[in-house]
Structure 1
Amino acid sequence: MVTKLISSEVLGASGVQFGTSGARGLVTQFTPDVCAAFTHAFVVSMRRNFTFNQMAVAIDNRPSSPAMAKAVIQALTDAGIDAVYYGVVPTPALAFTAMQDNMPCIMVTGSHIPFDRNGIKFYRPDGEITKADEQAILTEKVDFRAINDLPELTIDFRAAELYQTRYTDLFYADLLTGKRVGIYEHSSAGRDIYQGLFESLGAEVVSLERTDEFVPIDTEAVAESDKEKARFWSKQYSLDFIFSTDGDGDRPLVADESGEWLRGDILGLLCSKALQIEALAVPVSCNTIIAKSPEFEAVSKTRIGSPHVIAEFSELAKTYKRIAGFEANGGYLLGSDVSVNGKYLKTLPTRDAVLPALMLLSLAKTSSIKSLVSQLPQRFTHSDRIQNFETQKSRSILAEGKGNPEALLARIGVKDVSVSNTDFTDGLRMLLSDSTIIHLRPSGNAPELRCYAEANDFETAKALVDSTLSIISQF
């Protein structure tokens, strides 16, 4: 007997919701029927505005991802859609390839969150879905049959090849000649792509620490162990650069000649300068030196999350031609076609890790990464998070701070300063009388409370984050 289900009912009972980028939840919540419900709802919502007969699917290296992809592909088959399965590739590789083929796509990934969780990202033929698309997916009432059997997966390697070609065709083959590049591969979805890509541009590549266990690297909260590893590797292998990403390869993690990891927004700033971008959209959590940079004609500040950055592109495009955005995690979003080395680089309005890394290296061809960073205004940011922290508790703390920021400041132990200004664009961002900034925000992807801080020196920014989170964890 065939069991009939309704997508909105299945999703409503699943406990899975959309965060800042994609649907996220526990692996146990992503049952085959939940994956199918998301897929059927996505197909119906996309068919209201687009005509397509194919859809692309890819995954990260999480243990749960292949089974979820099988459920997605079976649902596509049931909906009369031909599924093109690209296997384990970076999210931007999938998104870029699907855009060239004018088809929607689905990426099974939990990005940087722990391996007991997973997620699904959805892309229209023209890029990431909007917040309105997310609500449409959750509320669609699509009848579909329960998933009883899962198909075998056959990999098409076109997405991996096209993504590499996007960058190898853009630069001269000697771009990285004489450079020793370490690639921290861990469990990144792009680990089978990056070595060949960097080598094709002339680099000597050293493979670093590949693992079969999933590593939830968060490029906004780099673990101390990973900081120590980078310094050790840089010295041991005489590296000029270290490249890594989060789990699905859309957030870069890069280190300079000394093995010091760069903040993602600093990487984005340098990349934007190299690309001669006219107008930027960046989340409010990014370093304030970006908005003050004279190279950009406009800098719009948004809520945190790529959908909010992308939504701002249409407004910027009314006035400017070279448009981009990036997040504090380093993920770079190209909002328009741009010329580089006399060649056109096509727009890619989703986070990408490779473009900012290569543009930084192109700048460092006649300099060093350390000197490029030192020439910027000396303003430092730091961030970290409390994991397994109830979202409702986070919201209660923010409500307290919005009602009486001075009282919250005293409660988290910050003394001898007052609150000069508050920003509620996304969470609670407090500018203090000594020019430091403390920004609290619940994660949109997991039960975590994030804290961002900014100061005139790194030690102060880090101390503010560490102290604030330590005290809040006792609330």
Structure 2
Amino acid sequence: MPGPTANALRSYLAYKPEALNFGTSGRRGLVIHLTQLEIYTNVFAEVRYLQSLQPSEGGIQAGDDFYYAHDLRPSSTKVENGRGGLCQAVKKALEDANMHPINLGAIPTPALTYFALQNGKGSIMVTGSHIPFDRNGYKLNTSKGELLKKHEQPINNAVSNTREELLNKPYDKSLFDNQGMFRNGLPDILPAVSEGKTAYIQRYLDFFEGLTLQGMKLLVYQHSAVGRDLMVELLQMLGADVTPAGRSETFVPIDTEAIDQDQLNTIQTICNRTGKTFDAVVSSDGDSDRPLLLAPEGDKLRFFSGDLLGMIVAEYLRADAVVVPISTNDGIDRGRLAHITEPKTKIGSPYVISGMQHAVSKGRHSVCGWEANGGFLTGSNIEHNSKILSALPTRDAVLPLLCALFAARNKHFTLPELFTTLPDRFSRAALIRNFPRPTSMKIMERYSPPETIMQEILYETDETIAFDPNHATLQVTKLHAQQLGQLRQELHSIFSAEAGFSSISRINFTDGVRMIFANGDVAHIRPSGNADELRIYSVSSSQERVDAIICLGIAEPDGLLRRLERMV
């Protein structure tokens, strides 16, 4: 690596570069830090890394086509206030890494991934997914699918080396100005081609061939979802009576895992203003890989959480193995899917994908998975009604929505009636935004077990039992028992009887701190992997109790999360 030069780019920069970090899936960061220099650095290094892999590992060849697409955030394609133009940086990095970039345009993340996988090529989606408007990022895929956690450290090493090379390059020979933006202006983004969108729509027309949604009245809440028009088009092709509504030209961050009451009220108002009745309201998050499903129950719309939606879909597809993260509604352990549920994973699609790969290696044939946000993944080809759905191991919003609609139609049920076939376990999630990540990590550290191998703790009347990640029993020393008892007691001071909680019977530490109470309530605390947010997940046997736990969790200024904050 060349050493620093007297007139190196780094000595001219008028800002302090901030590295772009991996989130739960992909890289995310504040737009103010997303210079074209940083995006170019990361993408160039990551593509070079993919070129070093074998084809069986998802490697790519120099000179091959490489697909990219983007969501509707302004910073994805435009420069505002000296930042943005991420797609242009991606295109330039691909060209300089000796790839042939092809722009698939503004399409859903799963549409890009599906088309790339069908062609055995790499791909990159410029998106901040569901996170707030002031952030953005991208998601890189190998020719076999998403990056896994094992890829992250070697990629970070490659990025670090590339960053040093670019920062040490003489300023007068650098591509970038002192603001980290292309010094010769914004390069062309390339005209978009439509093949990715067309293939994605055809995927579902083929799989559901012979079935129809005729007679179903659907409202598509469009907001700023990149798949908003595609969803309308596809549902109409399948025979539904579709009303598009709520289109927004400014970006609206929709987190389908933690949708709040204000957003639900907005959708209710939009629905009421149409003057029509609907069988369902469907939508997705910003990059259209997480579904949003609501349906009328009485005179109000009812929101169906993504983890419950996943159970409906897995049953409809007749899966023989399902993989879900630890944050998912525990109704899956109490119903028809219990015997085919694989060990729970950490939160994030790379972990779910690894779990699906393990299930396939054991000989399972119809493997799927989902997250609490509803993003649905297929880890194998799935046969249904003599049709084959090819594997798409990335989050998808369209498949779960269609399966739920067809499942309700087949049974002559309304959607609320369809969801009553699941165990009576309700779930909800919420978060506090602008919650400093260092504080979140201090909370996790304070309430972690004394040994990292301890993944779950069971509190019996006369003893404390610890289990490792394989659920093997661990030795609990007298000191360990004392420390675990103190941990439980401190959590009881916050999750108290006065707040309606019974005693803590178990704590799971797979990802965050998941408390299971003696009466069956669940409260799960975890920092977001994509933004400065602290999340709380709740599960209970009634929607009222779930809502109460969430309200207690995020209340200001003295809710459960704020009390945890004060403890550290």
TM superposition score category, shorter chain reference: over 0.9
Query: Which sits farther off after the overlay, 213-222 or 461-470?
Result: 461-470
2:60 to 43, 51, 58: 51
- Cα distance between partner residues in 2 of 1:429 and 1:299: 19
Please state how far the C-alpha of 1:402 moved relative to its aligned partner. 3.0
Query: Which sits farther off after the overlay, 443-452 or 333-342?
Result: 333-342
Q: Which amino acid aligns with 1:473?
A: R
Counterpart for residue 383 of structure 1 = 429
Query: Do 1:413 and 1:468's aligned partners in 2 also have CA atoms closer than 8 Å?
Result: no
Query: Which sits farther off after the overlay, 297-306 or 197-206?
Result: 297-306
Counterpart for residue 361 of structure 1 = 405
Q: C-alpha deviations, 1:270-300, integer Å up to 9, x for none?
A: 0000000011110111111112333454212
- Cα distance between partner residues in 1 of 2:313 and 2:60: 35
1:105-254 alignment runs, 5 A limit: 105-140=123-158, 141-142=161-162, 143=165, 146-147=175-176, 148=182, 149=184, 150-153=186-189, 154-172=191-209, 175-234=212-271, 236-254=275-293
TM-score after normalising by structure 1: 0.94
SS of the residue corresponding to residue 439 of structure 1 reads strand
Q: How many aligned residue pairs are there?
A: 469
TM-score after normalising by structure 2: 0.79
Counterpart for residue 286 of structure 1 = 328
- Cα distance between partner residues in 2 of 1:400 and 1:411: 14
Query: Which sits farther off after the overlay, 51-60 or 443-452?
Result: 51-60
Q: Which amino acid aligns with 1:266?
A: L
Q: Which amino acid aligns with 2:139?
A: K
Counterpart for residue 342 of structure 1 = 386
Query: Do 2:226 and 2:288's aligned partners in 1 also have CA atoms closer than 8 Å?
Result: yes
- Cα distance between partner residues in 1 of 2:353 and 2:536: 24
RMSD of equivalent CA atoms: 2.0
- Cα distance between partner residues in 2 of 1:413 and 1:398: 19
Query: Do 1:333 and 1:348's aligned partners in 2 also have CA atoms closer than 8 Å?
Result: yes
- Cα distance between partner residues in 1 of 2:401 and 2:48: 37
In terms of Rg, which structure is larger?
Answer: 2
- Cα distance between partner residues in 1 of 2:533 and 2:75: 22
- Cα distance between partner residues in 2 of 1:118 and 1:386: 19
Q: Which amino acid aligns with 2:60?
A: T
SS of the residue corresponding to residue 64 of structure 1 reads helix
Counterpart for residue 553 of structure 2 = 468
Q: Which amino acid aligns with 1:341?
A: N
Please state how far the C-alpha of 1:42 moved relative to its aligned partner. 1.2
Change (3 A) 1:298 1:4: farther
- Cα distance between partner residues in 2 of 1:311 and 1:455: 29
Query: Do 1:5 and 1:146's aligned partners in 2 also have CA atoms closer than 8 Å?
Result: no
Query: Do 1:233 and 1:239's aligned partners in 2 also have CA atoms closer than 8 Å?
Result: no
SS of the residue corresponding to residue 406 of structure 1 reads helix
- Cα distance between partner residues in 1 of 2:99 and 2:337: 46
Counterpart for residue 528 of structure 2 = 443
SS of the residue corresponding to residue 341 of structure 2 reads strand
Please state how far the C-alpha of 1:358 moved relative to its aligned partner. 0.5
- Cα distance between partner residues in 1 of 2:9 and 2:541: 56
Q: C-alpha deviations, 1:395-437, integer Å up to 9, x for none?
A: 2222333351321231354546221111000000011122111
Q: Which amino acid aligns with 1:252?
A: P
- Cα distance between partner residues in 1 of 2:495 and 2:398: 38
Identity rate of aligned residues, in percent? Answer: 36
Please state how far the C-alpha of 1:80 moved relative to its aligned partner. 1.6
Which 5+ residue runs of structure 2 have no aligned equivalent?
11-15, 54-58, 78-84, 167-173, 177-181, 450-486
Counterpart for residue 346 of structure 2 = 303
Please state how far the C-alpha of 1:319 moved relative to its aligned partner. 2.8
- Cα distance between partner residues in 2 of 1:113 and 1:419: 32
Counterpart for residue 315 of structure 1 = 358
Q: C-alpha deviations, 1:111-147, integer Å up to 9, x for none?
A: 1111110011111111111112222221102355634
Counterpart for residue 9 of structure 1 = none
1:374 to 410, 420, 431: 420
Change (3 A) 1:218 1:453: same
Query: Do 1:230 and 1:255's aligned partners in 2 also have CA atoms closer than 8 Å?
Result: no
Please state how far the C-alpha of 1:393 moved relative to its aligned partner. 1.1
